[in-house]
Amino acid sequence: VALITGGDSGIGRSVAVLFAREGADVAIVYLAEDKDAEETKSAVEKEGRRCILVKADVSERSHCHKAVMETVEKFGRIDVLVNNAAFQIHSSDFGELTEEHFDTTLKTNLYGYFHMAQEAVPHMKPGSAIINTGSVTGIDGSKQLVDYSMTKGGIHAFTRALSGNLIGKGIRVNAVAPGPVWTPLNPSDKEADDVSKFGADTPMKRPAQPEELAPAYVFLASPHCSSYITGEILPVVGGY
């Protein structure tokens, strides 16, 4: 049983579908896009697995509690938590990055991961795994994403620290750090010209498709593949 935040769209959706193909029932947490969430649900069901949708804001502790409880009530357990929801808006002028914007980024990307992990861990048995979505921006920084890069670096540190904390419970904690990926996240606040060049500065000269990220999550979720791996940040960055 996997609980995936931001599973309605992009990387989260492709992880949900590949997890289902590997035999997981999936709970999806999403913020607002009911139609997208329904599409993910039917894609999971086409793989022959069950899917529940939980509309919740991960920046709110009570919503995270609800998401975990609904998953446990429906499926009886949680084996894998994928922390993947994120807020990202570019701001080219550092002086114009508002307190409100900064707050939303930290509340979603850091508090959200913290809340979800703290709520889920009491229900996770030895052999379970947490996978966080970091980013290349958390390694290199991105000048138009100062706040977002801060949170992604924080997620990498959170992954390493939490892995040590949970090792005694037999729960592994790792992160995937994607480079540019073709999802709504970046085009949504960029001009068409910029969008057309998205990912062109990678050695592969293109962004990844979400389906090229999902196998990394399966690898880190499955004890058959990664039982001796915890606290690692796995970059999937097109050759940077």
Which residues are identified as catalytic? 148
Residue 238 interacts with ligand NAD (CB under 6 A): yes or no:
no
Residue 149 interacts with ligand NAD (CB under 6 A): yes or no:
no
Of 138, 141, 143, whose CA–CA distance to 92 is shortest?
143
Give least dist CB 180 to ligand NAD, A. Answer: 5
**Sign of the torsion formed by the C-alpha atoms of 188, 42, 5 and 153:** negative
Phi, psi of 174 (to 5 degrees): -135, 170
Residue 10 interacts with ligand NAD (CB under 6 A): yes or no:
yes
d(CA 107, CA 32): 17
Site string for ligand NAD, 16-35 (x = CB under 6 A): -------------xxx-x--
Residue closest to ligand NAD when measured from CB atoms: 10
Site for ligand NAD in 175-204 (CB under 6 A): 178, 180-181, 183-186
User: 3-state SS string over 116-150?
Assistant: HHHHHHHHCCCCCEEEEECCCHHHHCCCCCHHHHH
Site for ligand NAD in 85-104 (CB under 6 A): 85-88
Phi, psi of 40 (to 5 degrees): -60, -45
Binding site for ligand NAD (CB under 6 A): 5-6, 8-12, 29-31, 33, 57-59, 84-88, 108, 133, 135, 178, 180-181, 183-186
